[in-house]
Chains A and B, each alone.
Chain A
Amino acid sequence: MNTLTDFYTSLDSLFRSAKTRTEAFAAANRAAEHLGFPHVIHAPVRNHPNAAQNWAATSYPDDWQRLYAEKRYLERNPIRRHTLITSQPFRWSTLEQNLPIEQRELFHDCRSTGMAEGIVVPVHGPWGQAIAIGFACQDADAADERSVPLLQLIALRLHHLFDQPPPNPSA
């Protein structure tokens, strides 16, 4: 694989065979895992039918999912807030550095459940729609800057498929 175009082409074939949202998410997970990011989350933040839920789909560790629900992070998640004001991908560690200490708890919980670093790709749609698509890795060194454009392309394809109405089973 030599170019972004090649990468996009391989993504295209991965996603083309996905018939359901579950399969689309699995395809995104496979592509991200290949880059060193085994955990993916699709979390609508604003103007989306799933915006009031913790996430639309995730492969983050079960322990993290349990902590997230128990501690009600949905209401105070700094990643969701930051997604609303930027369109540029950002790292957890960069965001964490800019937060008051009392708002860093989420990142401690990410690390304690096996996710050392993450890159979030904000996706902004029509009418103020905002979605945070996160990619997390177990080894902070895997979060290489060169991965960012590739993760953006995965996020684009994943979100597009999640944005489509589910297929009509009778069709």
Chain B
Amino acid sequence: MPSQATDLRDFLDCLQRTPSPAAAFAHLYRTVARHGLRGAVYTGTYTRKPLFHDDRSVSTWIRHYLEQGYLDIDPPSIEARKTHLPQPWIAHQDAPHYTEQQRRIYQEIQEFGLELGTDIIINDPAGESALCFYYGAEHRDAHSLHITGLTYLTTHYTHEHIRQLYKPAALVAHEISARERDCLAWLSEGLNAAEIAERLAIRERTVHFHLSNARRKLKASSLPQAIAKAIRHSIL
């Protein structure tokens, strides 16, 4: 069985003990940095601002990249949002239809010697997504292979851990109980009260009670609105 599977188990054991998104991401970075990467950025709904780590030599450029909103126009990050596979930057280098601003990003990337990077998109069951990118490999093969194997998995697990850290805060903020959330979740999937009751092994009357409480706490005038609000606030 692959030895990196053991690395992955060690990674997961440590990840479960990290108490914050920043600590989780730092743990992720330490793991990928062992494969010669110089930096990583994570940006998503569950963190107030992008998280990043690097070897300091490129910090200035990464700040500039984020401040300029390059994430929204950078071709690999655009492509990453449409697919499940990691997007190597090298596969998106210069195309005739790129705008001047997109070309400028590539010029800056080359100036910093960061041509070898990869974007990974993560979509989760709450309908949220995060984008993580890694850059600065020592050589192309090491980068592309490590990034598509171990790094893909560690990135997904890290995002899930960050989501789990965030979820209790969202529930607490709206004082929604776990049972109320469960009822809302199944309602959002099209189950009726009787089916939810069967699913959760509780009485149908209790389901109505939980749904009514959830609607009131979310300050919604109807259950469809309660579901919409729950999704928007990452409770579902």
Contacts and interface: CB of A to CB of B under 8 A. Distances in A.
A128 interface: yes
Interface of A: 1-9, 12, 81, 84-88, 100, 102-103, 122-130, 144-147, 149-150, 152-153, 156-157, 159-160, 163
- Which residue, of A4, A6, A81, A122, has the highest number of chain B Cβ atoms within 10 A? A4
Contact of A81 (B7, B85, B189, B201): B189
- Which residue, of A2, A3, A157, has the highest number of chain B Cβ atoms within 10 A? A3
Interface string B151-177: 011001000100000000000000000
A70 to B, nearest CB: 21
Contacts, number: 88
A103 B145 CA distance: 42
Contact of B84 (A3, A125, A127, A130): A125
Q: Which 9 A-B pairs have the closest CB atoms?
A: A4-B4, A8-B149, A5-B149, A4-B149, A124-B123, A3-B4, A146-B1, A5-B145, A146-B5
A87 B124 contact: yes
Q: Provide the main secondary structure of the chain A interface.
A: helix
B2 A1 contact: yes
Contact of B149 (A7, A85, A87): A7
B123 A8 contact: no
Interface string B202-230: 00000000000000000000000000000
Q: Provide the main secondary structure of the chain B interface.
A: helix
Interface string B121-155: 00111010100000000000000011011101100
27 contacts: A2-B3, A3-B4, A4-B2, A4-B149, A4-B150, A4-B153, A5-B145, A5-B148, A6-B2, A7-B2, A8-B148, A8-B149, A12-B148, A81-B189, A84-B189, A85-B185, A87-B124, A87-B156, A87-B160, A102-B198, A122-B125, A123-B84, A126-B123, A153-B149, A159-B84, A160-B83, A163-B84
A153 B124 CA distance: 17
A161 to B, nearest CB: 10
B81 interface: yes
A5 B152 contact: no
A100 B198 CA distance: 8
Interface string B1-43: 1111101110000000000000000000000000000000000
A4 B32 CA distance: 14
Contacts of A129: 123
Contacts of A156: 84-85, 152
B97 interface: no
B2 A153 contact: no
Contacts of A1: 2
Contact of B124 (A7, A124, A146): A124
Contacts of A152: 153, 156
Contacts of B149: 3-5, 7-8, 153
A12 B147 CA distance: 13
A122 B153 CA distance: 13
A3 B123 contact: no
Contacts of B123: 124-126, 129
Contacts of B5: 4, 146, 149-150
A100 B189 CA distance: 19
B145 to A, nearest CB: 5
Contacts of B1: 144, 146-147
A159 B198 CA distance: 32
A9 B145 CA distance: 7
A153 B4 CA distance: 13
Interface string B185-198: 10001000000001
A108 B127 CA distance: 32
Contacts of A153: 149, 152-153
